Amino acid sequence: MLIRPIAKRNGVTFTIVASLFIFSSVIALLSSSNNNSIYFPLFAGSLIIGIVLLIVGIVKINDVDYRFSLTNEGIHYFTSRGGFTILWQDIQRIDIPKINDGLELKDLPYIGIRLNQREHLINSASLATLSHMLLEQRALIMLTDPNSTLYGNADNMLYPNVKVTHKYQGLQAMFINRMHYLHDTLGYDIYFPEDDLDRSPAEFIALLRKFKTHCPRSV
């Protein structure tokens, strides 16, 4: 079963909105007279916003067509930089991670997967994919590290200074250290943002649990 990310569909919307911003801003700048110079910063700002949205839209459109492939073997995850596979028998739990928000628990816009074995995932992932995942998890690090109140502080967790006692080195060791950290703080090893999904997180979790239950290799 192939899963097309909702972010892929949003790429077209971003591109259309960006084109409208750019077109209207350029027309306004060209047609404005000296008497309307007070509006120049507004038109210029709209043009910059349009360019940014256009870049975001193009990136989303050029991303992979499908984010997941669900098979009897496991979860196959794809990015423009590569991917990896999580075997069903390596999965211990699938749920929505939560953080404390005052006296309440707040759902994060991710689905979390707790693993009982990490080696197959690490061995199946390209180094470019691991690097991409490390960068994408900056937001999670900010939520879990109380000292990370600024983006600059979050950078300190990109390559955590933790001793590695297994055979992995380089990016593989960094990614395993990150998994240990997030496992201890949020309870899961791998996190997928809701933009990677094609339905609500709760519905996607139910789908994964169904696949895992009926997979002959997960028992």
In the predicted structure, residue 193 carries a pLDDT above the cut 70: yes
Range ranked top by mean pLDDT from 58-62, 136-140, 192-196: 192-196
Whole-number Cα distances in Å, 134 to 19, 80, 171, 179: 32, 15, 9, 10
Within a 13 Å sphere around the CA of 182, how many CA atoms are in the beta-carbon half?
Answer: 30
The dihedral formed by the CA atoms of 199, 202, 208 and 212, expressed in degrees to the nearest 10: -160
- pLDDT for 5-53, tens place per residue? 666 566 667 677 777 777 777 777 677 655 556 666 777 777 777 777 7
Return the H-helix or E-strand segment holding 133.
helix 127-136
- How many percent of the chain have pLDDT more than 90? 16
Domain ranges of the chain: 2-61, 88-218
DSSP 8-class letter at 162: -
The span from the CA of 166 to the CA of 176, in Å, is 10
**Cβ-Cβ contacts under 8 Å for 12 (sequence gap 6 or more):** 57, 61
Tell me the pTM. Answer: 0.67
**Cβ-Cβ contacts under 8 Å for 57 (sequence gap 6 or more):** 11, 12, 13, 14, 15, 16, 17, 18
DSSP string, 204-218: HHHHHHHHHHH-GGG
- pLDDT for 83-110, tens place per residue? 899 999 999 999 999 887 777 888 888 9
The single residue listed with the structure tokens 């992995």 is: 168
The span from the CA of 210 to the CA of 64, in Å, is 25
Looking at 51-188, which runs of residues are DSSP E strands?
68-70, 74-79, 82-87, 91-95, 98-101, 104-107, 110-115
